[in-house]
Amino acid sequence: MIQQKKYFDNVEEFLNSSIQYHQVLHIALSQNQIGASVASSLGFALAKCTNLSNLTLDLSSNQIGAIGASEICSALANCTNLQNLALDLRWNQIGDEGTQSLGSALANCINLQNLMLGLYWNQIGDKGAQSLGFALANCTNLQNLTLYLSQNKIGAIGASDLGSDLGKCANLSNLILDLSNNKIGDKCSSSICSALGNCTNLSHLTLVIYQNQINDEGVSGLGYSLANCTYLSNLVLDLCQNQIGAIGASNLGSALANCTNLSSLALDLSGNQIGSEVSSGLGYGLANCTNLSNLKLELSGNEIGNDGASSLGNAFTNYTNLSNLILDLR
């Protein structure tokens, strides 16, 4: 008899359950000092869950390493009916090897529609990111994807290849991509967004790339690449603590005006080097986003001053359809 839903927060309890009958499964094992051996046992059991359509597996803050991750991921390759997967492996030091195993498994999950991968703090480099992207390109039914890759060692090559492969996910409508605190550099962000222009159904995009040494040239390219995402209606762009100046901010604002369907924008440029000139560039540039009704603009730590704030306020008078505004100038 198929079990419609089951929740476990104990390994032994799950291992002793009617494994083959699970269809909707939630396993919560965060901070349990789980190593490779227990992860292997868990993977062996999951491989028998051939009826699974929905799986939430939280193994964050354990010690499974690359070997444990490989065992878990090998099991997922047998769950070919999976449509919804949330896998949290944060703080597990799985590295490139573990991420490559994850990629190989996901490539077999061709029915996935909704996927969340939590991979913070795992020492993942370019090879891991490339393997992950290659696998996701095979998940052609993906509609909603969340990738948390913050605090790793991903460089420009890995991030660029990841972005290119995500551009092959033609059915994506919602994407959250967190690459903050990596080493993607200046030009990679624009290549990612250029590739995402191929996702013609993409309407909601959250791109978190703070602390990545992005300067004026990089953010300008990012803006013009986003213009390829013609169906975007909701955009969250976190670029705080980079090296963006007045020119880059101005170019970003002007370029976003090409996203003609944009109705909601959250833009975080705090902790950059914009200065008071932001008012004449970014403010008036965004005014050309004629369908914009919701705007959250974070500009703290940019030495905008009274003159900049005043000019920015004048620019807002041109926002004819704006109904909700949150502005942070601290």
pLDDT per position as a tens digit, 40-85:
999 999 999 989 999 999 999 999 999 999 999 999 999 989 999 9
E strands, the chain, are 6-8, 24-28, 54-58, 84-88, 114-118, 144-148, 174-178, 204-208, 234-238, 264-268, 294-298, 324-328
Give yes or no for residue 1 having a pLDDT over 70: no
Give me the sheet containing 294-298, strands edge to edge: 6-8, 24-28, 54-58, 84-88, 114-118, 144-148, 174-178, 204-208, 234-238, 264-268, 294-298, 324-328
Confidence of residue 5 (pLDDT cuts 50, 70, 90): low
CA distance 82 to 106: 10
Confidence of residue 215 (pLDDT cuts 50, 70, 90): very high
pLDDT of residue 311: 81
Confidence of residue 3 (pLDDT cuts 50, 70, 90): low
Task: Return the domain boundaries, the chain.
Answer: 6-328
Residue 173 has pLDDT above 90, yes or no: yes
Residue 237 pLDDT = 97
pLDDT the model gives residue 280:
65
> Is 100 within 8 Å of 129 (Cβ atoms)?
no
- Let me know if domain 6-328 sits in CATH 3.40.50.10210: no
Calculate ∠ Cα 291-210-127, nearest 5°.
115
Mean residue pLDDT of the chain comes to: 92
Band (pLDDT 50/70/90 cuts) for residue 243 is very high
The reported pLDDT for the residue numbered 97 is 96
Per-residue pLDDT band at 4 (split at 50, 70, 90): low
What's the pLDDT at 244?
94
Across residues 13-29, what is the average pLDDT? 93
pTM of the model: 0.95
Interior CA angle at 175 toward 174 and 178, to 5°? 155
Mean pLDDT, residues 143-169: 95
**Mean per-residue pLDDT, 196-221:** 92
pLDDT at 279: 62
* Tens-place pLDDT, residues 244-303: 998 999 999 989 988 889 999 999 999 999 988 766 678 888 888 889 999 999 999 998
Name the nearest CA neighbour of 113 among 159, 171, 153: 171
Which percentage of the chain shows pLDDT scores above 70? 98
Dihedral-angle region of residue 241 (phi above 0 means left; psi in -120 to 50 means alpha; beta otherwise): left
Contact indicator for 192, 169 with CB cutoff of 8 Å = no
Crossing angle of the two packed helices 126-136 and 95-106, in degrees rounded to 10 = 10
Strand partners, 215: 243
Tens digits of per-residue pLDDT, 94-153? Answer: 999 999 999 999 989 989 999 999 999 999 999 999 999 999 999 999 999 999 999 999
pLDDT-derived band at 305 (thresholds 50, 70, 90) equals confident
The C-alpha atoms of residue 276 and residue 243 are separated, in whole angstroms, by 16
State the pLDDT at residue 34. 97
